[in-house]
Structure 1
Amino acid sequence: MAEETPVFQIQRVYLKDLSLEQPNSPAILLEQEQPSVDIQLGVEATPVVEGIFEVAVTATVQTKIKDKTVFLVEAKQAGIFEIRNVPEDQMGAIIGIACPQIIYPYLRGNVADTVTRAGFPPVHLAEINFQAMYEQQQAAAAEAATSTAQ
């Protein structure tokens, strides 16, 4: 039997979740001090059915002046991917690197647009090296497995 051709296709990219909070408005808007910005990113993958995966990239952007939140944006951009006939040892890299690289530009645009529509200068999320991020996660998981086994 001939080996089946690998399949990697985007079925859909969509904004799964988005929230904006300005808990200290309008008073905080009168502050002249520059806010601090904290950005957290995450990647998650979920099998949907055989050969179909949902991969989501999440971003949490929080700006503060002193200890008061100026705004908080939480966004989850997701994609549905068909991935079939790919060697098992390559699946992690496809789901952890290739899929997030496709989704991330949409997330960046949605976060910048949301912040701008809220009346603030846009927050432009930096480019992310998902390969380095994936390799760090793999190394951390291997280290955790080694320390647990001892």
Structure 2
Amino acid sequence: MSENQTQPQFALKRVYLKDASLETPAAPQVFTKAWQPEVNLDINTRSTSLDEQHFEVVLSLTVTVKNEGEAAFLVEVQQAGIFLLAGLGEAEAKHTLGAFCPNLLFPYAREAIDNLASKASFPALMLAPVNFDALYAQQLQQAQANGGETH
């Protein structure tokens, strides 16, 4: 092994709630109606380099719940983490930041959303697991289609 090669390293250094909000625009009337929710989940991720080896990854989830066609509540959570990545190739690092890290953050974000919904007096809202590898692959395909061929 040459001196400039580094063994691959990965570590989760910190997990934190960066931002959270809850809106209940239909309260208190929403509590007087039969509960048949329609749940919509929007997911977004972004990563920022903090230095050569540390990255902040932010998983943003927006959950809109409608009941009888009316917005019952809206929860937005930005769950973040600081990750150490070293010795990875560019493609491996992008995949790790775009799929693996959000996968680690998702259970924390899901718990935050469930807690906020419960505190607003709504039934538990346990979001189904998300396949971040598939979402990342889909983003790569869209980027290639929009930007031509990439290598």
Question: Using the alignment, how far apart are the partners of 1:4 and 1:35 within structure 2?
Answer: 51
Residue segments in structure 1 that go unaligned for 5+ positions in a row: none
Amino acid at match of 1:10: L
Query: Does the alignment pair 1:95 with 2:97?
Result: yes
1:36 counterpart (17, 35, 38): 38
Deviation at 1:67, TM superposition (A): 4.2
Under a length normalisation based on structure 2, what TM-score does the superposition of the two structures give? 0.90
Amino acid at match of 1:75: V
Q: 1:121 to 1:85 in 2, by over 3 A?
A: same
| Mean CA deviation greater in 129-138 or 33-42 | 33-42
Partner residue in 2 for 1:18 = 20
- Identical-residue share of aligned pairs (%): 35
Deviation at 1:124, TM superposition (A): 1.1
Deviation at 1:44, TM superposition (A): 1.1
Q: Does the 8 A contact of 2:55 with 2:83 survive in 1?
A: yes
Q: 1:5 to 1:33 in 2, by over 3 A?
A: closer
Deviation at 1:134, TM superposition (A): 0.5
The 3-state SS of whatever aligns with 1:49 is: coil
Partner residue in 2 for 1:139 = 141
Question: Using the alignment, how far apart are the partners of 1:113 and 1:38 within structure 2?
Answer: 17
Question: Using the alignment, how far apart are the partners of 1:87 and 1:65 within structure 2?
Answer: 47
Question: Using the alignment, how far apart are the partners of 2:67 and 2:128 within structure 1?
Answer: 22
Question: Using the alignment, how far apart are the partners of 1:81 and 1:113 within structure 2?
Answer: 25
Q: Does the 8 A contact of 2:36 with 2:68 survive in 1?
A: no
Partner residue in 2 for 1:110 = 112
The 3-state SS of whatever aligns with 2:65 is: strand
Deviations 1:102-133 (A, max 9, x none): 11111111111111121111111111111111
The 3-state SS of whatever aligns with 2:50 is: strand
Question: Using the alignment, how far apart are the partners of 1:14 and 1:41 within structure 2?
Answer: 17
Query: Does the alignment pair 1:130 with 2:135?
Result: no
Stretches (4+) displaced over 6 A: none
Under a length normalisation based on structure 1, what TM-score does the superposition of the two structures give? 0.91
Question: Using the alignment, how far apart are the partners of 1:26 and 1:129 within structure 2?
Answer: 35
What is the count of residue pairs matched by the alignment?
147
Deviation at 1:18, TM superposition (A): 0.6
The root-mean-square deviation of aligned C-alpha atoms, in Å, is 1.5
